[in-house]
C-alpha cells in the first residue's frame, strides 16, 4: 500500500521532507559560521494551504475504497520543490562579511527538531489509526 497516495500521509511526509531540508540548510549555515562573506540561508516557510492547493497533494478527502464511493474533486499531484532563500541582516554582519549568528541558527535547529518530533509522532498516530481501522490495531 502506497501511503503517499493518501493526502493526510502525503502532507505529513511533505512536512517531514521540508524539516529535513531545513535541518540541512541550518547545518550548512553553522558549518560556515567562520567563512568570510558567507550569507546564511533558510528554506521558505512550509504552508499546508499551498501544499493542499493546486499543484499540491490535493484536498484532504477520504480515499475511495469501493466503486460505490464518489470520486475526489482534484487529482493528487507531487509536492513542490523546497525553495531556499538567503537571509540578509546587515546589522549583524562581522567585519569579514559573515552574517551567521550562531545563537539564531541554534534556536532554529532546536525549533526544527521539535517540529520533526511532532510530525513523526503525528505520522505514528495516523499509522495506528489506520491499523485500527483495518482491524490490525492493538488495545
Domain with 95 in it: 3-65+77-133
Q: Read off the pLDDT of each residue in 22-48 and give the average, rounded to a whole number.
A: 90
User: What are 29-40's pLDDT values in tens digits?
Assistant: 999 999 999 989
Domain membership flag for residue 70: no
- This prediction has a pTM of 0.69
> How many domains are there within the chain?
1
Which DSSP string corresponds to 51-84?
Answer: HHSTTTT--------STTSPPPSS---PPPPPPE
User: What are 73-132's pLDDT values in tens digits?
Assistant: 544 444 456 778 877 666 778 888 888 999 999 999 999 999 999 999 988 998 898 889
Domain membership flag for residue 120: yes
Domain membership flag for residue 139: no
Domain membership flag for residue 17: yes
- Give the whole-angstrom CA distance, residue 35 versus residue 98: 6
- Give the whole-angstrom CA distance, residue 15 versus residue 9: 10
Domain membership flag for residue 104: yes
Domain membership flag for residue 52: yes
Domain membership flag for residue 11: yes
Domain membership flag for residue 72: no
Evaluate if residue 28 carries a pLDDT over 60.
yes
Amino acid at each position: 500500500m502506497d501511503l503517499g497516495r493518501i493526502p493526510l500521509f502525503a502532507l505529513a511526509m511533505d512536512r517531514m521532507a521540508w524539516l529535513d531540508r531545513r535541518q540541512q540548510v541550518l547545518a550548512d549555515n553553522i558549518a560556515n559560521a567562520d567563512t568570510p562573506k558567507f550569507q546564511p540561508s533558510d528554506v521558505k516557510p512550509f504552508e499546508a494551504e499551498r501544499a493542499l492547493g493546486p499543484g499540491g497533494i490535493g484536498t484532504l478527502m477520504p480515499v475511495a475504497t469501493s466503486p460505490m464511493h464518489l470520486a475526489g474533486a482534484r487529482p493528487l499531484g507531487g509536492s513542490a520543490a523546497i525553495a531556499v532563500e538567503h537571509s540578509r541582516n546587515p546589522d549583524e554582519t562581522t567585519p569579514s562579511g559573515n552574517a551567521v549568528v550562531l545563537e539564531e541558527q541554534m534556536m532554529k535547529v532546536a525549533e526544527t527538531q521539535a517540529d520533526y518530533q511532532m510530525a513523526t509522532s503525528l505520522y505514528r498516530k495516523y499509522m495506528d489509526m489506520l491499523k485500527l481501522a483495518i482491524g490490525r490495531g492493538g488495545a
